[in-house]
């Protein structure tokens, strides 16, 4: 369970209110990050709810993961009374975050140009497919920008582009949106003015592949896809070992080569002049790696893990994501927090990968049920109990 023992008021963004109009991954990640850091995040949903709640397959985990530490209010934004409620809510906010089409927000009067006239101090975070330019009219998805931005090329084998196994651009794009929002908050302290922050999937993807772009700039040679790349290290591979188990093993320097050879009694390899230095071993991979694959099949994954850990060499058993719930390090260090899913089931959820003051940023609010906080928020905006009841009866809120 989480080790965060701080009160909400002790968190860095305590007192900051965020109103978000988001769905799927990118926008919700921004709000989740700000919420984990202590902001009061209010998720404005349509009466039917965020469509992400109903996703199947690989999207089934989106809603509970990226909507923790938030409150939900369900409002009909197509109605005048619904828009009135939302504008009152935004009037209490420091930050508005959205990831819908620009035209959609403009039509509702919820774009930055409209809202900044009402409150010049407002910070507006817009999550898009592309930053303004020739592509900004296109509809983007994580997979779209991975394909056009070189990441799928780098992940797959030659001729077989492959998307990364996570929503990397959506998640990172949302985090960069949060970084921009926090930077804008700091600048507002100096200027008294808010501003629009924009984060985009395509530009995020370019940042991810920038190392390969710069590799070409430095060497003049195009980067090979990761499965076919020339490794800078002699041993940096996945090995199939006893009982058909798999493990990643790395020996990345001459000191580690000596340690490796001593740990496994490979005096013959250590004395071989063809593999004296790391660069020698890189050039010798065509015969060295098959030789090591043959030798290491004598060991189980557990035996190799134990020996590599004992001598301080890098290793990693190949792990399926569902097994990480039982990871002893995550369990011992507070990396997982208990959570109740919207349907009432209990689970655990990974937290932000950082500590502040030696503590993880924990879970204060489970992912909300649709409209769970509607009545409380309306009352906080000055609506009487009778008015709240009337809004429900009129179908303006849920």
pLDDT in tens, 296-347: 999 999 999 999 999 999 999 999 999 999 999 999 999 999 999 999 999 9
CB-based contacts of 84, cutoff 8 Å, min separation 6: none
Mean per-residue pLDDT, 110-125 = 98
- Contact between residue 368 and residue 43 where contact means Cβ atoms under 8 Å apart: yes
Per-residue pLDDT, 230: 78
pLDDT at 369: 97
Q: How far apart are CA 254 and CA 262, in angstroms?
A: 12
Q: Quick check: 7 pLDDT over 70?
A: yes
Contact 249, 304 (CB under 8 A): yes
Alpha helices by DSSP H, listed for the chain, are 26-36, 62-66, 80-90, 102-107, 112-118, 142-148, 151-155, 168-191, 201-219, 254-264, 267-271, 278-283, 285-296, 301-311, 328-333, 374-380, 385-393
Active site (annotated) includes residue 170: yes
User: Whole-number mean pLDDT of the chain?
Assistant: 96
Residues 35, 11 contacting (CB under 8 angstroms): no
| pLDDT at residue 209 greater than cutoff 90 | yes
- Name, in order, each residue with C-beta under 8 angstroms of 340's C-beta and a sequence gap of 6 or more: 346, 347, 366
Q: Are strands 40-45 and 315-317 parallel, antiparallel or unpaired?
A: unpaired
Does the pLDDT at position 70 exceed 60?
A: yes
Name the nearest CA neighbour of 284 among 293, 272, 275. Answer: 275
The band of 4, judged by pLDDT with boundaries at 50, 70 and 90, is low
How far is 45 from 15, CA to CA, in rounded Å?
22
Tell me what the mean pLDDT of segment 51-75 comes to.
97
Residue 212 pLDDT level (bands cut at 50, 70, 90): very high
| pLDDT reported for residue 5 | 59
Contact 304, 310 (CB under 8 A): no
Phi-psi region of 255 (alpha: psi -120 to 50; beta: other; left: phi over 0): alpha
Q: What is the pLDDT of residues 353-389, one digit of tens each?
A: 999 999 999 999 999 999 999 999 999 999 999 999 9
User: Contacts from 4-7 at CB under 8 Å and sequence distance 24+?
Assistant: 4/334, 4/359, 4/360, 4/361, 4/362, 5/359, 6/359
Domains of the chain: 8-209+327-393 (3.40.50.10540), 231-321 (3.30.1540.10)
Q: What pLDDT, on the 0 to 100 scale, is given for residue 3?
A: 43
With contact defined as beta carbons under 8 Å apart, do 99 and 167 qualify? no
User: pLDDT at residue 1 above 50?
Assistant: no
Selecting among 4, 36, 111, 170, the annotated active-site residue is 170
pLDDT at residue 69 is higher than 60 = yes
Query: Residue 377: helix, strand or coil by DSSP?
Result: helix
- The answer on pLDDT for 138 being more than 60 is yes
> How does pLDDT run across 253-270, given as a tens digit for each residue?
999 999 999 999 999 999
| Cα 234 to the center of its chain, rounded Å | 32
Task: Report the pLDDT value the prediction gives residue 228, as an integer from 0 to 100.
Answer: 87
Let me know if 390 is exposed, middle or buried by CB neighbors in 10 A (0-12, 13-18, 19+).
Answer: middle
């Amino acid at each position: 369970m989480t080790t965060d023992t701080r009160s909400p008021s002790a968190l860095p963004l305590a007192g900051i209110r965020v109103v978000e109009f988001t769905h799927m991954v990118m926008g919700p990640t921004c709000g989740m990050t700000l919420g984990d850091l202590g902001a009061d995040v209010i998720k404005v949903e349509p009466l039917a709810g965020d469509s992400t709640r109903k996703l199947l397959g690989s999207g089934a985990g989106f809603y509970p993961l990226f909507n923790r530490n938030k409150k939900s209010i369900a409002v009909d934004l197509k109605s005048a009374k619904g828009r009135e409620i939302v504008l009152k809510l935004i009037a209490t906010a420091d930050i508005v975050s959205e990831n819908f089409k620009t035209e959609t927000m403009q039509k509702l009067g919820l774009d930055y140009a409209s809202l900044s006239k009402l409150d010049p101090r407002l910070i507006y975070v817009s999550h898009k497919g592309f930053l303004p330019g020739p592509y900004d009219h296109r509809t983007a998805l994580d997979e779209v920008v991975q394909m056009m931005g070189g990441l799928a090329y780098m992940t797959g084998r030659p001729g077989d582009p492959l998307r990364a196994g996570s929503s990397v651009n959506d998640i990172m794009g949302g985090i960069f949106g949060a970084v921009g929002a926090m930077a804008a908050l700091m600048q507002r302290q100096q200027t008294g003015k808010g501003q629009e922050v924009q984060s985009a999937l395509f530009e995020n993807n370019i940042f991810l592949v920038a190392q390969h772009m710069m590799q070409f700039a430095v060497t003049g040679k195009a980067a090979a896809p990761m499965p076919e790349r020339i490794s800078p290290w002699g041993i940096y591979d996945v090995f199939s070992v006893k009982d058909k188990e798999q493990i990643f093993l790395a020996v990345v320097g001459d000191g580690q080569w000596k340690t490796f050879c001593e740990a496994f009694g490979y005096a013959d390899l250590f004395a071989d002049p063809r593999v004296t230095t790391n660069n020698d071993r890189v050039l010798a991979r065509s015969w060295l790696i098959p030789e090591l694959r043959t030798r290491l099949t004598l060991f189980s994954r557990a035996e190799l893990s134990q020996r590599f850990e004992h001598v301080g060499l890098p290793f990693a058993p190949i792990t399926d994501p569902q097994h990480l719930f039982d990871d002893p390090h995550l369990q011992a260090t507070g990396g997982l927090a208990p959570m109740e899913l919207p349907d009432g089931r209990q689970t655990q959820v990974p937290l932000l990968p950082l500590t502040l003051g030696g503590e993880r940023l924990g879970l204060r609010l489970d992912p909300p049920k649709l409209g769970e906080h509607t009545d409380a928020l309306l009352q906080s905006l000055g609506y009487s109990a009778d008015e709240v009841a009337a809004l429900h009866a009129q179908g303006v809120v849920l």
